[in-house]
């Protein structure tokens, strides 16, 4: 009887221990970030939560130290948190294991030089040319026998980029139209679909409406809008804007761009945001007054270079950046341009920080608390994307999205994701 009770007790104890170990593993895995950025010469506290062993690989010893002790070999430390000290710029890796037995996570550490950027907050006109001709959809053609046909059906798909026709590179939709109208027989199209290059053949049909050949597809070669310039880097002349990518309004896909430009814009009005209906900035864009060139369109924003002589447009005072681990919930402010060309400071509250967000442009939840901004715009409106977020005199991120059901709230991106 005693042995049976003892066995039951041991089984229960083992089950409880296993459960605690599993819960500890899960807690540590989600609590510990996968990536950390540290400014050269500074210290970062990595909270582990429970006693664990931390090891630094051989390749990291010149970049990192623990508790200000230079590492000459792999070491293990039994602690619940660790102070990571950066020695010089570079990358390193820290491996964390539960009780020194169960591997939990590897943390990549990026040691970077101190970066100072000029927070801008000015609204700009944005114009980008697609890297090919974007297919928006396919449709019908009434041919010369008065029959309805669909030349592009099953051949072209929404989101395709047409790059060549019969071996000729095309960059403007007018070029595509000219080739289609003046070529007899089938056309060989080079397209990019979901990042993969493909070759398709399509035979145009002559329209009874105007007598011209058509392939039955709606296409676009550029897109325009208004956004906010987030920062200017006085060391490189580069800029970052929007905090999210430019997506095609019809295909919902991130535009693959050939090039683009930003131009001066004066905000002439605001369509206020309401619950269920995001508003927008209304601007008058001067396409002749170019400010800079766009080189990249990514899910974290637009990037390019300010033209020489246009640096004064951005402002002059550069301030340090702060990484996501240095951001705290509470008061901050944004710089935004909602009238004319004037940039103003508006107080916000950072309500939540998700340092492990799977969406790089949604790392913070912010709420507009400035009464004047709420009165003028109803909260966050389209065109404010890219408004820099500043806390403790550091650039920490930018406004990216509005909550449709509560436009006083929105998302923000960490500035480190925009570099």
- Tell me the three-class secondary structure of 345-376, residue by residue: EEEEEEEEECCCCCCCCCCEEEEECCHHHHHH
Lowest mean pLDDT among 58-62, 273-277, 327-331: 58-62
Task: Pull the structure tokens for residue 155.
Answer: 């051949």
Task: Kindly indicate the confidence band of residue 250, based on its pLDDT and cuts at 50, 70 and 90.
Answer: confident
According to DSSP, the β-strands at 141-142 and 148-149 are: antiparallel
As a whole number of angstroms, the distance between CA 88 and CA 340 comes to 45
As a whole number of angstroms, the distance between CA 185 and CA 407 comes to 53
Per-residue pLDDT tens over the stretch 350-399: 999 998 888 999 999 999 999 999 999 999 999 999 999 999 999 999 99
Per-residue pLDDT tens over the stretch 121-133: 999 999 998 888 8
How many Cα atoms within 13 Å fall on the side-chain side of residue 91? 4
Domain ranges in the chain are: 2-114, 117-126+223-418, 140-215
CB burial of residue 300 (10 Å; 0-12, 13-18, 19+): buried
| pLDDT at 22 exceeding the cut of 70 | no
Q: Which residue has the higher pLDDT, 287 or 324?
A: 324
Segment 52-75 shows an average pLDDT of: 58
The whole-angstrom distance between residue 339's C-alpha and the CA centroid of its chain comes to 26
Segment 389-411 shows an average pLDDT of: 97
Pick left, alpha or beta for residue 146 (phi over 0 → left; psi -120 to 50 → alpha; otherwise beta): left
Predicted local distance difference test score (pLDDT) of residue 223: 85
Percent of the chain with pLDDT over 90: 47
Q: Which fold has domain 140-215?
A: Pdz3 Domain (2.30.42)
Predicted local distance difference test score (pLDDT) of residue 73: 46
Residue pointed to by tokens 């049976």: 4
- Taking alpha carbons only, the member of 304, 208, 316, 296 closest to residue 263 is 304
**Highest-confidence range of 22-31, 190-199, 266-275, by mean pLDDT?**
266-275
Q: What is the pTM of this model?
A: 0.79
Q: Is the dihedral of CA 214, 219, 221, 224 positive or negative?
A: positive
CATH for 117-126+223-418, options being 3.20.20.70, 3.40.50.1820, 2.40.10.120, 3.30.930.10: 2.40.10.120
For 298, the 3-state DSSP assignment is strand
Predicted local distance difference test score (pLDDT) of residue 312: 79
As a whole number of angstroms, the distance between CA 299 and CA 358 comes to 12
- Taking alpha carbons only, the member of 164, 102, 120, 50 closest to residue 387 is 120
2-114: CATH number: 2.60.40.1080
- Taking alpha carbons only, the member of 129, 123, 125 closest to residue 287 is 125
């Amino acid at each position: 009887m005693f042995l049976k009770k003892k066995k039951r007790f041991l089984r229960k104890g083992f089950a409880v221990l296993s459960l605690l170990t599993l819960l500890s593993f899960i807690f540590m895995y989600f609590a510990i970030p996968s990536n950390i950025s540290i400014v050269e010469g500074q210290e970062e506290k990595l909270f582990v939560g429970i006693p664990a062993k931390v090891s630094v690989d051989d390749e990291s010893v010149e970049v990192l130290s623990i508790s200000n002790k230079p590492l000459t070999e792999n070491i293990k430390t039994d602690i619940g948190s660790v102070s990571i000290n950066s020695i010089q710029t570079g990358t390193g890796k820290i491996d964390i294991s539960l009780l020194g037995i169960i591997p939990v996570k590897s943390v990549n550490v990026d040691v970077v030089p101190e970066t100072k950027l000029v927070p801008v907050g000015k609204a700009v006109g944005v114009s980008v040319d697609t890297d090919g001709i974007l297919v928006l959809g396919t449709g019908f053609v009434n041919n010369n026998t008065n029959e309805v046909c669909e030349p592009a059906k099953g051949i072209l798909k929404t989101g395709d980029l047409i790059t060549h026709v019969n071996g000729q590179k095309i960059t403007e939709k007018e070029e595509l139209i000219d080739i289609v109208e003046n070529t007899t027989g089938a056309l060989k199209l080079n397209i990019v679909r979901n990042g993969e290059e493909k070759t398709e053949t399509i035979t145009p049909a002559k329209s009874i409406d105007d007598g011209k050949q058509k392939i039955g597809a709606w296409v676009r070669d550029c897109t325009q809008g208004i956004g906010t310039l987030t920062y200017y880097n006085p060391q490189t002349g580069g800029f970052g804007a929007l905090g999210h990518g430019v997506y095609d309004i019809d295909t919902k896909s991130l535009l693959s761009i050939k090039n683009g430009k930003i131009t001066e814009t004066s905000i002439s009005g605001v369509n206020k945001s309401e619950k269920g209906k995001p508003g927008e900035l209304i601007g008058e864009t001067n396409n002749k007054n170019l400010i800079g060139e766009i080189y990249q369109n990514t899910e974290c924003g637009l990037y390019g270079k300010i033209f020489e002589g246009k640096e004064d447009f951005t402002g002059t005072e550069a301030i340090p950046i702060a990484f996501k681990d240095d951001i705290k919930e509470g008061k901050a402010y944004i710089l935004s341009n909602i009238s004319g060309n004037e940039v103003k400071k508006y107080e916000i509250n950072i309500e939540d920080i998700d340092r492990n967000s799977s969406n790089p442009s949604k790392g913070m939840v912010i709420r507009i608390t400035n009464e004047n901004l709420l009165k003028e715009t109803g909260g966050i409106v389209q065109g404010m994307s890219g408004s820099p977020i500043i806390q403790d005199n550091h650039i920490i991120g930018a406004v990216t999205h509005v909550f449709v059901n509560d436009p006083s709230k929105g998302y923000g991106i960490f500035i480190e994701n925009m570099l």
